[in-house]
Amino acid sequence: MKKTAAQDSRLVRFLLFLSDYKFHLMIYSIGIVHMTFFFLFLYLHVMPMAVFNVFSVLTYAACAFMLRSLKRLFAVFFATYLEILLHSLAAAVCVGWQYGFSLYVLALIPFCYYMCNNLVKGRRKYIVATWLGFIAFAAYAACRMIILFRPPLYGLSLPPVFSFFIYMFNASSTCIFMIVFSLIFLLEIHLSANKLSRQNELLERLANTDPLTGLYNRRSMQVFLDHAAESETDFCLAMCDIDDFKKVNDTYGHDAGDIVLKEIAEIMKHETGNQGYVCRWGGEEILILSSANSDQTREIMEKIRRSIGNHIFESREKLFHCSVTIGIAAHKNGGFVEDTINLADYNLYQGKRSGKNKVVS
């Protein structure tokens, strides 16, 4: 299992590399193919095509230089598109159809759609890509038509094995080119989907949580309260308030107040665990919806109160303590949630009036 996961990870890294350097790989690989063609046509004494491939290699060298600036990417695409069209037509005129040099034109069709999707904005990209695709297909048909009306300039008498090798080289190169770009296309779809999913998760988190403490906000807590009320099960609500919070802000600064809120929020989330939801109800007030019974909820709230009382807060190299007062109310099936919240709030202020730093239920 670990080996498979490691292999998948290596594959993803390889595909990411292809995505990042796809245009460079395209230019270099096509340049290498044309260098191969140069030596092939030189060996076959088809000098026009040998010279043509010299200019092709120089064209791709210039394209590789232009790739230093992504602003010139459209020029690189157009030069590649035009060179492949002209090379296929020239090969059909010089040596004929049977060696497969025209296959590269067919690979241009999906390549046009891919590149236009990256380079052309709006709906125009579909129109431009379609026109370029039709032109590529017309060039492919023209390569075939040329042979119908006139013989090639160079009537090569090659052994069948050699002819088959040339055709398979061209067919394999075309196939590899299309497979690689199909993989890159699928990878980019996957990455875009993941990015959109992460953005949606972030937006949902921003909509449902308090940005300072990371607790649920009042809007999302209302959903939990409604669901708990509709489930016809008993639950408890605990309204928590930080004692003398204004004094903390006045003494240590508002940065210290933010630190207190964040660290108290972490303590409450930790102590509550999976037995409830913790929400920043407003200001320094925190509402906890507990699925435990009254006795268990009181034990949890006492643990929260003790943990906060024992916690040392630090701001600007100053150490200090804080405490919380908590009011608990049990919600009974059939009652109104607002009444339970009001009762928890009443118990909270009873605790405030009787000395603070206590749990009242």
Closest residue by Cα to residue 64 from 54, 49, 79: 79
Full strand arrangement of the beta sheet holding 324-331: 276-282, 285-290, 235-242, 324-331, 359-360
**Per the residue annotation, which of 201, 284, 314, 338 is the catalytic one?**
284
Closest residue by Cα to residue 98 from 40, 165, 48: 165
Give the DSSP letter of residue 285: E
* Phi, psi torsion values for 285, nearest 5 degrees: -90, 135
**Cα dihedral angle (116, 120, 122, 125), rounded to 10 degrees?**
-30
Is residue 115 within 8 Å of residue 149, measured between CB atoms? no
Number of residues written out for the chain? 361
Tokens 């790739």, located at residue = 67
Is 284 considered catalytic here?
yes
Q: Which residues are annotated as catalytic?
A: 284
